[in-house]
């Protein structure tokens, strides 16, 4: 007579922990990809510069259209609304912005936007231009 102290079972693959790990990896890669997507601006005719350099990705890209409309992340702002939005940021002195103005925009409109940024406390301001 044969005695068995331990029951022998076949090994099996548990699928539920594998699904959990795959979903975790999927969420991780989605979050990383969202951070890598640049802020899409408007299709503007930027002025050209022979000294244009690549800047680090700013927190905000402020677009000024031909008619003087100020747009940030798809929303239109007045100058007062822009100043309030930038001032409500965590720390405006560390906020990086880039101003992208169409080359047909009057320089005075550009200066008004720059003044609104400085009144909000933003000091790190870049100007978008396309390289020659």
The reply to whether 101 falls in a domain is yes
Query: How many residues are present in the chain?
Result: 132
- Number of domains composing the chain: 1
The reply to whether 31 falls in a domain is no
3-state helix, strand, coil split of the chain in percent (to 5) is 35, 20, 45
Q: What is the average pLDDT score of the chain?
A: 81
The reply to whether 25 falls in a domain is no
Lowest mean pLDDT among 8-12, 61-65, 107-111: 8-12
Report the half-sphere exposure of 11 (CA within 13 A, side-chain side).
1
| pLDDT of 125 above 60 | yes
Tell me which residue of 64, 90, 96 sits closest to 77, measured CA to CA. Answer: 64
The reply to whether 55 falls in a domain is yes
The number of beta carbons lying within 10 Å of the beta carbon of residue 47 is 15
Helices vs strands, H then E, count in the chain: 3, 7
Cα separation values, 104 from 44, 66, 109, 122, Å: 9, 6, 11, 25
Q: How far apart are CA 59 and CA 67, in angstroms?
A: 24
The reply to whether 23 falls in a domain is no
The reply to whether 32 falls in a domain is no
Q: What is the mean pLDDT of residues 52-56?
A: 68
Range of the structural domain that residue 83 is part of: 48-131
What's residue 2's pLDDT?
Answer: 65
The reply to whether 43 falls in a domain is no
The reply to whether 64 falls in a domain is yes
Q: Per residue in 6-45, pLDDT tens? A: 677 777 788 888 899 999 999 988 888 776 665 555 566 6
Give the CATH number for residue 124. Answer: 3.30.420.270
Global confidence as pTM:
0.60
């Amino acid at each position: 007579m044969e005695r068995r102290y331990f029951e022998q079972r076949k090994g099996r693959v548990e699928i539920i922990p594998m699904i959990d790990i795959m979903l975790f990896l999927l969420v991780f890669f989605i979050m990383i990809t969202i951070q890598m997507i640049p802020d899409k601006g408007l299709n503007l005719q930027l002025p050209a510069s022979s000294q244009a350099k690549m800047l680090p990705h700013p927190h905000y890209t402020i677009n000024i259209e031909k008619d003087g409309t100020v747009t940030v992340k798809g929303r239109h702002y007045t100058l007062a609304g822009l100043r309030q939005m930038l001032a409500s940021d965590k720390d405006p002195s560390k906020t990086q912005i880039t101003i992208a103005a169409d080359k047909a925009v009057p320089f005075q409109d550009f200066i008004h936007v720059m003044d609104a940024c400085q009144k909000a406390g933003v000091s790190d301001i870049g100007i978008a231009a396309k390289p020659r």
